Amino acid sequence: MDEQASFNTPRLAVAIGRLELKNPVMTASGTFGYGEEYAPFIDLNRLGAVVVKGLSLERRAGNPPPRIMETPAGMLNAVGLQNIGVRAFIAEKLPFLRQYDVPVIANIFGETVDEYRHVAQILNGAAGIHGIEINISCPNVKKGGIAFGACPEAAAEVIRNVRSETDLPLIVKLTPNVTDIREVAQAAEAGGADALSLINTLTGMSVDIELRRPHLANITGGLSGPAIRPIALRMVWQVVQAVKIPVIGIGGIVTASDALEFLIVGARAIEIGTANFIRPAATMEILDGIKEYLICHRIGNIAELIGSLVTNPDTENEGEIG
């Protein structure tokens, strides 16, 4: 009977280092505002964690419009990290999130190593912050961001500096716009990251053929949505095998089955991004779907599913069809 009961109410809790989540469904930075925008549609208490819009030391105006363009099975964005600045976030936005029983992860960004460190220092003292996601992977700003994420040494330096300012769990968000994501992943691990999240957007472009102008004022933008999911899944699978710290899967997850793919290849949790724009309650639908899958497959604890990928022992190299 006890066994039966556990199959009907599977255990969904996962640990991202010292960060305990009641389930693996998180929101991706930049797609969920500061939480308020989605409160009319979902119970924020049911989320594994909320990752807020990227924060810099001072407010940033962001890029000129047009900033987004829909592309096949996805969208390009070049928002340029528009945000109100870390202090205004703590004063004006964090009190709202503090009302909820949900871990809040602050995504941080800097143009310099010092800026990253300074933002982390300010967040370290803020009540209601449970972790920091370090964005070293934004493709849409001129300075910082991806410059740190594309170079293993620079990535490690940012993380060491942030680590020196805070004991909060550190998640490092990686860019796919590199030759081998495992190198930066390992550097981030060595630099003191508690977990990795991947992937950020892939740099892309789209042109209006009548005007012969780029659709985005920034010319290039970051591609997200289902179009990037197979790439994201492959990279998560590669990184899971290359590091010991937990990996959070991100990239085009719009349904529960998409999320399950990431968990099966070894992601400890997942972040939902573009799907929030399409269906404001996407996170809840995905969470319910994961639970239903576990019940259907008589899996009592989600830990049994994570990393349970079955591979053909004859196939050693990824990408080979046979």
Partner 1 sequence: MYEKHAMMTGEIIENRRVAPDHFEMTIRLPRSFPSPSPGQFVMIRRVQPEEPLLARPLSVFGFQRHKDNTNLQLLYRVIGRGTKSLSCSKPGDELSVLGPLGRGFTIPIGIKQVIFIAGGVGVAPLAFLLHSGLLSSGTGQEIQKNFYLGAQRAELLAGLDRLEGFCELGICTDDGSRGYHGPVTGLFESGTKLLKHNIGGYDPEETMVYACGPTAMIRAMGHLLNENPIRCQVSLEERMACGLGACLGCAVAVRGESGKREYRRVCKDGPVFDLREIVFASPTGK
Contact positions toward partner 1, by CB under 8 A? Answer: 30-33, 37-41, 53, 61-70, 72-75, 77, 79, 82, 213, 217, 225-226, 274, 276-281
Judge whether 100 and 45 are in contact, CB under 8 Å: yes
Cβ-based nearer residue to partner 1, 38 or 89: 38
Tokens of 37: 């925008």
Judge whether 94 and 129 are in contact, CB under 8 Å: yes
* Nearest distance, CB of residue 34 and partner 1, angstroms: 9
Residue 114 per-residue DSSP state: H
Cβ-based nearer residue to partner 1, 213 or 297: 213
Judge whether 241 and 264 are in contact, CB under 8 Å: no
Residues sharing a CB contact under 8 Å with residue 280, sequence separation 6 or more, in sequence order? 38, 40, 41, 42
Give the SS3 label for residue 20.
strand
Tokens of 228: 């990037």
Cβ-based nearer residue to partner 1, 87 or 182: 87
Q: Which of 138, 168, 272, 294 is catalytic?
A: 138
Q: In degrees, to the nearest 5, what angle opens at C-alpha 147 toward C-alphas 267 and 110?
A: 85
Which residues are paired to 220 by β-bridges?
205
* Nearest distance, CB of residue 86 and partner 1, angstroms: 17
Is 138 labeled as catalytic in the residue annotation?
yes
Cβ-based nearer residue to partner 1, 13 or 278: 278
* Nearest distance, CB of residue 265 and partner 1, angstroms: 23
Judge whether 171 and 195 are in contact, CB under 8 Å: yes
Cβ-based nearer residue to partner 1, 213 or 298: 213
* Nearest distance, CB of residue 188 and partner 1, angstroms: 27
* Nearest distance, CB of residue 251 and partner 1, angstroms: 14
Q: What separation in angstroms does the CA of 282 have from each of 31, 69, 70, 229? A: 12, 21, 19, 16
Q: Which residues are catalytic?
A: 138
